[in-house]
Structure 1
Amino acid sequence: MATGSARTTLPALGAVVDGRFQLEGVLGSGSEAIVYRAADNRGGRPVALKVFRKPWNEGGERREVLIQRRIRHSGIVALQDYADHTGAGDAPDYAVLELVEGATLKNILSSGPAEPRLVAAWAESLLMSLAHIHSRGIVHHDIKPSNILIPHGPKGRIATHAKLTDFGIASSRALPCTSSGYGTAHYMSPEQAAGGTAGAAGDIYALGLVLLESLAGARPFPGGAIQSMLARTLRRPHIPADLGRRWAALIGAMTAVDPSERVTARQALRLLRRVQHADFRSHRPDRVRQAEQDMRRHKLAPSGLAVTENFAA
């Protein structure tokens, strides 16, 4: 394969890649790759085919695949196959990914904030995904709404689970990310915004900003990239009081300026349980709330004959 700064000739829509993948449409495009919707002619199933713009051995493409093939989790878009065409002319290198029928969180938030119960459900999926990869020494480095997929639920409704995608700048202990300035400016952690490196705590911080944006409908640190990055090195994001103390406790613990003061993914899950419990209690049917109130009154009632008389009444 060509070396140096060569770039792969990307296949056109309708083409068949490797005699196997029929390209049907474009799902997304970035500086490093373009993602197609494709039909796998071997099995007939639809897939997401991520075709890299540069040869396998020139950038982070090899690292991305080697890291993602170690991950098996329901909250992470699965890597199903990949091809390394080094030395085979200008054939593109690619990764075969699980196709998620749905929308990015970025697209969903373009119409306004999401319902808190949905944000809590998505947060659970994403925190479990981060707990999984962090326990294996993997850091995503680019948590943001456009890298979070929300599948379609029954009858086209928004699903209550989320999937994390795009490990293009992920790193592990064995495969560190050597790129400078990696990540997306509006979601970078304070330590990275200050010129340092970000570990697992950086993923937690970025997800905290994403959750706050999902609830409030706006980025916590607005303005240009430099202004936004500087602001988060000086203070925590503002959490609106109307979100309630449980959401404030969770997001505050995830977005501490000092990474050593942030919760881990598993600790954040425990705080999230309090949010979900409060949400569950507020959405119980009236008959359930009435039954619980009756039980509390009975517990507080005097014992003995007085109780009997109360029930008789």
Structure 2
Amino acid sequence: MIRTVLGDLRPDALGITDSHDHLFFRSAALPGQELDDEAAAVAEVRAFADAGGQSIVQWTPYGLNRRAELLAGISTSTGVSIVTATGLHRREHYLDGFVDKVQDQLAEIFVRELTAGIGDTQVRAGLIKVAGGFHVLDAHAELVMRAAAEAHHATNAPIAIHHELGSAADAVLDLLVDELDVHPGAVILGHLNRFPDHRVHVELARRGAWLAFDGPSRANNATDPRLMDCLAALIDAGYADRLLLGGDTTTARARASTGEGPGMPYLLTHLRPRITRYFGADVADAVFRTNPARAFTTDWRA
């Protein structure tokens, strides 16, 4: 099953999916760029639904303003399924002292939010979001990933990784898969468009992980022109069945409905037609429908 904010969903009911995005997000590293407007979030989800979208996976982790108390209502009112995350981001995204207070309780927090609910709500997380460092795993990243692996083994929840500028994905697999015995099919490597080395991407796919390309993201638009080349290299190598695509909308300005865009709908109004045109309808269906249904399930061996 896939755990949404309204409860468990059969994978084949997930439908056309934005595999990495944010409805709500607040970071100490991005002052003044908060996603905290309920009406704007609803408008963005409805615009995504109008473009044919059926599910959104929100990667906002613990402590960064997920607004879990609003997510079930948004899902109900828009008809769009929402999967939300537990986990912990890089240290700099939190106010001073926050990480120190919780770092010895991370596995417990993750398991509780995956099984009992987030805060005072009954909304349960459906994945664990963690983050690597720039080309290496620093002490914070390793601490969080060890807690994520513990929570994964207790719940079967998939683990999604923010890679700083797309780097250190190999180090993440070395730790999570080779050392901590997390099945590679439960690992989603994010932001790989930010490190557009085709050979590295093929090596990561060969190891059995999911490869998530998120964009267009206003903060990382330099990688947008390389997206199709990255996808082509993996498709040509036989890994169309490992690809995911998301919008990664992290600022109010980047929303389509209330900002300057391109926002969530762009995935379906612009990128999906291009993928269909270049690589065929079957590949587009895999990227937006069948791959997410496999990547975000707890039955990750399927």
TM-score by length of 1: 0.27
Higher relative contact order (CA 8 A, sep 6+): 2
Which protein is bigger by CA-based radius of gyration? Answer: 1
